[in-house]
Amino acid sequence: MTTSRPGTRSFASTLALGLALIGAASMLYYEFGLLIPRASEVSAANGLKFRIGFGGDFYPVWMTSRECLIGHHAPYSSEITQEIQIGLFGRPLDVRRSTDPADLRMFAHPAFTILLFWPMAELPFTASRVVLAIMLASMTFASVLFSIRALSCRLSRTWLVCILLLAITSYPALEGLYAVQLGILVSFLLAFSVVAMQRGRLLLAGTLMALSTIKPQVTVFAIFYFIIWSLYDWRRRGLFLIGLFSTLLVLSGASFAVWPHWTQSWTHTVLAYRHYSRPPLVTEVLTSSLGPQWASPATFILTAAAIIAAIVLAWRNRAAASSSYAFCITLSLLLAITTITILAGQAVYDHLILLPGILLLARSWRELCNAGTVPRILVPLGALVLFWPWISAFALIILRPLIAPAIFDSTPVFALPIRTAASLPFAVLALLAWLVRVNPARHQEAA
């Protein structure tokens, strides 16, 4: 028996690599050969043609940087918004048109984002989006490697390649790369910061987390935990706070020097954005199940409970060493809570922050399966939710010649690979919560 194990492991890893290659190819074809062309056709049928598809999410940053630094306009003005809309759609959006998207594509990042990306504004957009897309793809790979290192996972090269293939061809990653979404950069900065902490480079870690505030909603809970963690042992961890707040001070100060009232305008833009963007996932799920009348109070209660749980969790594990299991699972839980309570429902690309939690669960699945009936059921269900996009994309491509075009193009069939996109954060959160429940003492380690 012992002599067969190496061969069995080799066969399993080789099989996994083959399946990962098939799944990756299937998702690439589905995303770029089916889904994106279909979205363009639907928009054109509604009288709205995308002039810029590839890099559409980066275009507001590029245009605002160009107009503000070259044309000296205010970053949150209606004139800038109109320029962005014309560049993306060929005309300004009209909120009275039901066929126009609710997302007005306003520049909604902090003003210092413009200063950070001003070199890109010097390039033509066609060049800048390609350069940044390549950089973001590299950062996606780096985020996986940093997350694996932060969790001290030991993997063979074959399994590492499998994970990298699945990560880069996941629906959030493909959406983010095609849109050239800065959320990928934020995920990279977060993973890089944790590794820097574990190596004792706290000043660098704080600086990286300050840069991640170009999308503050993605890392707000993580930064909250890192601040509490640093204050617990100021002598050894205070450099993180120095790096964080000094970098924020420099970025904000430079922005104030150029735009003295940018914080008021940015706050107004963020509040407006919440009105026309899709609500967080917890709101969408409760609205669809309970109806609008009961969804609002239920959402408030659950969101408040999640935030309180996040605060309690961060406080309990404030003493944990940055390389400890307690630190990693606390951060993973906080990021999972972020995806369902804070991020907009359409921000699937930001779900890349779930990667540390997914890797942690993959490493601990046996522990969960041995913990009782409920987690034994949740683990295979969570695995199905995770791998469903690759499985269903492959099935769709194979069965396409056998399915009538009218049936294949129907939303229930065509959208099968992205059906679990909203379910994944809930599955990860539920499994991580069970992992804490399995052995509470293990998840409260002191430094």
Q: What's residue 93's pLDDT?
A: 76
With a cut of 80, say whether residue 251 has pLDDT above it. Answer: yes
CB contact at 8 A, 190 and 219: yes
Instruction: Give strand ranges (E) for 11-102.
Output: none
Per-residue tokens: 377: 């059921």
Q: What percent of the chain has pLDDT over 70?
A: 91
Q: 443: pLDDT confidence band, cut at 50, 70 and 90?
A: low
Distance CA 424, CA 385 (A): 6
Distance CA 122, CA 128 (A): 9
More confident residue, 289 or 5: 289
Distance CA 107, CA 71 (A): 16
With a cut of 70, say whether residue 7 has pLDDT above it. Answer: no
More confident residue, 105 or 327: 327
With a cut of 70, say whether residue 6 has pLDDT above it. Answer: no
- The tens digit of pLDDT for each residue in 24-53 reads 999 999 999 999 888 888 777 666 777 777
Q: What's residue 261's pLDDT?
A: 86
Q: What's residue 437's pLDDT?
A: 80
pTM: 0.91
Q: What's residue 4's pLDDT?
A: 43
Distance CA 46, CA 39 (A): 11
Q: Supply angle C-alpha 212, 169, 156, rounded to 5.
A: 90
Give the list of residues 6+ apart from residue 91 with CB closer than 8 angstroms, or none: 85
Q: 302: pLDDT confidence band, cut at 50, 70 and 90?
A: confident
Burial (CB count <10 Å: 0-12, 13-18, 19+), residue 98? exposed
With a cut of 70, say whether residue 419 has pLDDT above it. Answer: yes
Q: 191: pLDDT confidence band, cut at 50, 70 and 90?
A: very high
Q: What's residue 9's pLDDT?
A: 67
Reading phi first (left if > 0) and then psi (alpha if -120 to 50, else beta), residue 200 is in left
Per-residue tokens: 283: 């709101």
Instruction: Give strand ranges (E) for 365-406.
Output: none
Using the structure block, give the residue that is written with the tokens 């275009």.
Answer: 59
Nearest Cα residue to 428 out of 325, 319, 326, 355: 355
With a cut of 80, say whether residue 204 has pLDDT above it. Answer: yes
278: which DSSP letter? P
Per-residue tokens: 38: 């279909």
DSSP states of 12-30 as a string?
A: HHHHHHHHHHHHHHHHHHI
Q: What's residue 268's pLDDT?
A: 86
- The tens digit of pLDDT for each residue in 266-289 reads 888 888 777 777 788 888 887 776
Q: 98: pLDDT confidence band, cut at 50, 70 and 90?
A: low
